[in-house]
């Protein structure tokens, strides 16, 4: 999260600019065309959790601490937290966590759907990072164009009704049809070998 000692020294006009830049940066992360995974091995409070919420998948150590604690400081999450948390865990529970400024550990975060995977912390302190890398290795062999348009279809589809979402999916699927990768995938399947995708 933000450096609160630094924030306390800022003029109110500087705070707005700082939060605006943070929001823009986090939105850029959310809009990356590749899968993103947040690995939370320690503390993700305020802006730290907002950053993690902008990722496609979140992994945390059971000992990790997460929360949108801004109301404790008489402010609200300003870099996407009030929008991304409800979309992730549901409106009522998001309101409860934001209104109370509650901090949850990895186990509770997993039980409420805030994270996808919880792992026991290791001696090196990088258990979530290692799990995130393992997930990334599962994603890596897939067709790059398919990964990009699948993310686009999911992200855009979640913001609209089902009928419109299905139209978005159809349009995204159409982008995969003329690709060399689609042909390579079919050939690799036929020849019983791993595909060699090039993102074309």
Residues forming the active site:
2, 47, 50, 70
Sign of CA dihedral 145, 151, 155, 158: positive
Residue labelled with tokens 């799990």: 131
Burial 141-178 (b: 16+ CB within 10 A, else e): eebbbbbbbbbbbeeebeeeeeeebeebbeebeeebee
Residues found in the chain: 200
CB 84 within 8 A of CB 53: yes
């Amino acid at each position: 999260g933000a450096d609160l000692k630094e924030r306390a020294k800022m003029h109110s006009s500087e705070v707005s600019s700082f939060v605006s830049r943070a929001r823009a940066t986090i939105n850029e992360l959310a809009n990356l065309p590749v899968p993103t995974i947040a690995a939370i091995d320690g503390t993700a409070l305020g802006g730290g959790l907002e950053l993690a919420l902008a990722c496609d998948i979140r992994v945390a150590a059971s000992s990790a601490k997460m929360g949108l604690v801004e109301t404790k400081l008489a402010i609200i999450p300003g870099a996407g937290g009030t929008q991304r948390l409800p979309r992730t865990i549901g409106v009522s529970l998001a309101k409860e966590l934001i209104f109370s400024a509650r901090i949850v550990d990895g186990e509770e975060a997993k039980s409420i759907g805030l994270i996808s995977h919880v792992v026991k912390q290791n001696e090196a302190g990088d258990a979530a990072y290692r799990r995130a890398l393992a997930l990334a290795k599962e994603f890596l062999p897939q067709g790059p164009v398919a990964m990009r348009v699948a993310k686009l279809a999911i992200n855009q589809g979640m913001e609209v009704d089902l009928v419109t979402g299905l139209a978005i999916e159809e349009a995204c699927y159409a982008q995969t049809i003329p690709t060399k990768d689609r042909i390579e995938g079919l050939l690799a399947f036929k020849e019983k070998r791993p595909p060699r995708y090039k993102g074309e």
